[in-house]
């Protein structure tokens, strides 16, 4: 008796996304190492924390595939892209990476909708929300570096940005959680 509740296309897409999340973790590890080697301990700490989050995303998908009776396929993880060339470039790369990941998540949402796989559609809504948060966070980081001077940011501005990021919360607040009492 076939107990796999995932279609072959959804199973393949979820496995691919699971590997993308593992790859994202490696990317954040690489950028975090670059930041630390260049003296930005706070940025490094922020990126290492994010690498951990991405591993958790990978595990959520792995667990979901198993719970739906599907087959998990662990493959090689692509090497991260080249190191950033500056703090500004680092956050631009982070932002672009998250936007690309959102595109990938949306494709699975659409596929599950087209196939009327409502369990997968429902599961993926957590990732839609998470991506909105992660994009918000990346945009706010880019705003901060822009105020600090972007590519021309001075050492003092980068120093305070670095200290700031050491304690920056891992999650950004979503628009739907805002009220007039608490804007």
Residues in contact with ligand FEO by CB under 6 A are 21, 24, 54, 57, 98, 101, 134
Rg (CA), the chain: 18
Nearest residue (beta carbon) to ligand FEO: 57
Determine the Cα–Cα distance for residues 177 and 183; give it in Å rounded to an integer.
9
Nearest to 130 by CA among 63, 54, 65: 54
Closest separation in Å from C-beta 23 to ligand FEO:
10
Instruction: Please tell me the total number of residues recorded for the chain in this structure.
Output: 183
| Residue closer to ligand FEO, measured from CB, 98 or 162 | 98
Closest separation in Å from C-beta 58 to ligand FEO:
8
| Residue closer to ligand FEO, measured from CB, 4 or 125 | 125
Helix axes 41-67, 155-166, angle to 10 degrees: 40
Closest separation in Å from C-beta 98 to ligand FEO:
5
| Residue closer to ligand FEO, measured from CB, 57 or 93 | 57
Enumerate helices (H) and strands (E) in the chain, giving the number of each. Answer: 5, 0
Closest separation in Å from C-beta 154 to ligand FEO:
30
Closest separation in Å from C-beta 21 to ligand FEO:
5
| Residue closer to ligand FEO, measured from CB, 5 or 49 | 49
| Residue closer to ligand FEO, measured from CB, 54 or 117 | 54
Residues with Cβ within 8 Å of residue 128, at least 6 apart in sequence: 105, 106, 109
Place of tokens 């670059």: 34
Residues with Cβ within 8 Å of residue 142, at least 6 apart in sequence: 91, 92, 95
């Amino acid at each position: 008796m076939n107990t796999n509740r995932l279609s072959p296309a959804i199973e393949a897409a979820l496995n691919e996304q699971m590997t993308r999340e593992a790859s994202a973790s490696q990317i954040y590890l690489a950028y975090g190492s670059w930041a630390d080697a260049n003296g930005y301990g706070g940025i490094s700490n922020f990126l290492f924390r994010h690498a951990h989050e991405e591993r958790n995303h990978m595990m959520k998908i792995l667990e979901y595939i198993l719970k739906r009776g599907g087959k998990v396929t662990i493959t090689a993880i692509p090497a991260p892209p080249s190191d950033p060339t500056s703090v500004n470039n680092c956050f631009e790369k982070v932002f672009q990476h998250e936007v690309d990941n959102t595109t990938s998540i949306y494709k699975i949402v659409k596929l599950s909708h087209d196939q009327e796989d409502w369990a997968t559609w429902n599961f993926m809504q957590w990732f839609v929300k998470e991506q909105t948060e992660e994009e918000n966070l990346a945009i706010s980081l880019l705003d901060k570096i822009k105020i600090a001077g972007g590519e021309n940011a001075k050492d003092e501005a980068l120093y305070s940005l670095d200290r700031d990021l050491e304690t920056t919360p891992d999650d950004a607040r979503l628009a739907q959680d805002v009220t007039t009492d608490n804007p």
